[in-house]
Structure 1
Amino acid sequence: MEKLIQGLVKFKSEDFETYSDVFSNLKDKQNPHTLFIGCSDSRVVPTLITNAMPGELFLLRNIANIVPPYREDDQYFGTQAVIEYAVNVLNVENIVVCGHSNCGGCNSLLNYYNQNFSNIKSVKKWLSLGLPALKKLNEIAKEKSLPVKEWMIEQLNIIEQIKNLLTYPYIAEKYSSKKLNIYGWYYIIEKGEIFNYNKETGYFEPINM
């Protein structure tokens, strides 16, 4: 905690002063251009890997960057509420679903039927939303090695969450009318490389600009 407190002091004395005009312009409202849906993994820092400034990204983070399919009832839905607010109130132009290498959530998903979830029952329930990706993996990669399956489940999970996004009526409408872009990114932690999903080819391709 002491390190975090020292970081707060450094932020106020150095970083905040550098970007004081930016924060001043943001004091009354935000106008982010992108909803970034990423994993809660501490190694994934959205603003760092995108070089984004404060006010650019509206962040949604959870285990394994999962998007629950759209539902209408009176339950509490934190993830769905964030998506709804970003799209219908903030009118973001883009949605990014960003998965990553060595994802603990996806590893648990890969071992879903053989893992002991007795002390993390909420995690088991949450990861069940990723089972379509596991089913797809078992259909196309049953004979693959474990390392190959690991990165495949991480990428297939991204694709499945994009499909889930399109079950939201307001997202489907904006996407079909080209008012909203949806991207699937795969981030390799140890290399700093990000791959973008090409829906035409079905492959993740390196982002090189």
Structure 2
Amino acid sequence: MNTIKRLIMGNEKFKKEYFPYFEKDLKESVQLGQRPEVLFIGCSDSRVTPELMLDTQPGDMFILRNVGNFVPPYKHDEDFHGSAAAIEFAVSVLNVKNIIICGHSHCGACKALYDDISDDSKMVHVRVWLELGQEAKQRTIKSQKFETLEEKYRATERNSIRNQLENLLTYPEVKKRFDNKEILIHGWYYDIETGNIDFYDKNEDNFKPLKEFTI
């Protein structure tokens, strides 16, 4: 079946089978505005599906997705940056109470950190964007020896989450609300092959099953 035709049919199914359950809440949100309590920062990878993974409803999460679920460090200038704008909007306008940075296994962005694309004229913007992952790469290389490339890639994916959490706290409003306990920040790691999610425990500097998370 043609891909677009399948999407059209999917929309028809959505309107008939799912939309009626959310219609009242969505109409209310149009009148009152959206009020999500979560900013979810995830990867653009087509296999990462936040709403399915977490069984959420429309309006539950404000979602920012980009290549590698990277968080650019705060810069006090007027350079155009969609990811930074989304973070600012979620925190300062929507007043979200939680920010989740969710990395995942088999991340193409983290793997690409080890590829040489410096001469690829078709990947100019990708090359610049991947600079946001270099610190995670260096942290991985310095940490230990790996028996396989796959082990190194998995470690890089987790180290990237650590790095993006640090970058998130460079945003003054995020840092202020975090220090005042007005907002919680979470680092999650999604395993595409199993559906499992681990959370980052900063006190122990490791990842644990999400079901063990306590506030």
Q: What TM-score do you get using the length of structure 1 for normalisation?
A: 0.95
Residue 9 of structure 2 aligns to a residue whose secondary structure is helix
Aligned to 2:157: 154
Q: Name 1:22's counterpart in structure 2.
A: 25
Match of 2:177 in 1: 174
> In the aligned structure 2, how far is the partner of 1:18 from the partner of 1:168?
37
Task: Indicate yes or no: 2:12 matched with 1:9.
Answer: yes
Q: Helix, strand or coil for the counterpart of 1:119?
A: helix
Please list the CA deviations of residues 87-141 of structure 1 after superposition, one character each: whole Å capped at 9, or x if unmatched: 00000000000000001111101x1447764321110100111101011111112
Q: Select the residue among 62, 71, 76 that pairs with 1:58.
A: 62
Distance 2:120 2:161 in 1: 23
Kept after mapping to 1: 8 A contact 2:118/2:127: no
Query: C-alpha distance in 1, partners of 2:204/2:187?
Result: 13
Gaps of 5+ in 2: none
Size of the aligned set, in residue pairs, is: 208
Q: Distance in 1 between matches of 2:140 and 2:211?
A: 28
Asked if 1:92 is matched to 2:96, the reply is yes
Partners of 2:112 and 2:165 in 1: how far apart?
A: 20
SS in structure 1 of the partner of residue 39 of structure 2: strand
* Separation of aligned partners in 2, 1:143 and 1:81: 37
The one-letter code sitting in structure 2 at the alignment partner of 1:55 is G
Q: CA RMSD in A?
A: 1.4
Instruction: Give yes or no for contact 1:197–1:204 (8 Å, CA) kept in 2.
Output: yes
Q: Determine the structure 1 residue equivalent to 2:35.
A: 31
Query: CA–CA distance in 2 between the matches of 1:169 and 1:144?
Result: 40
Task: Quote the Cα distance in structure 2 between the aligned partners of 1:7 and 1:115.
Answer: 40
Q: How does 1:67-86 map onto structure 2 within 5 Å?
A: 67-86=71-90
SS at match of 1:9: helix
CA distance in 1, matches of 2:144, 2:121: 28
Residue ranges of structure 1 left out of the alignment (5+ in a row): none
Counterparts in 2 of 1:204 and 1:115: CA distance versus 1, 3 Å: farther
Identity value in percent: 42
Cα distance in 1 for partners of 2:109, 2:146 equals 22
Q: Matched residues in 1 for 2:63 and 2:79: separation? A: 22
Alpha-carbon shift at residue 171 of structure 1 (Å): 0.6
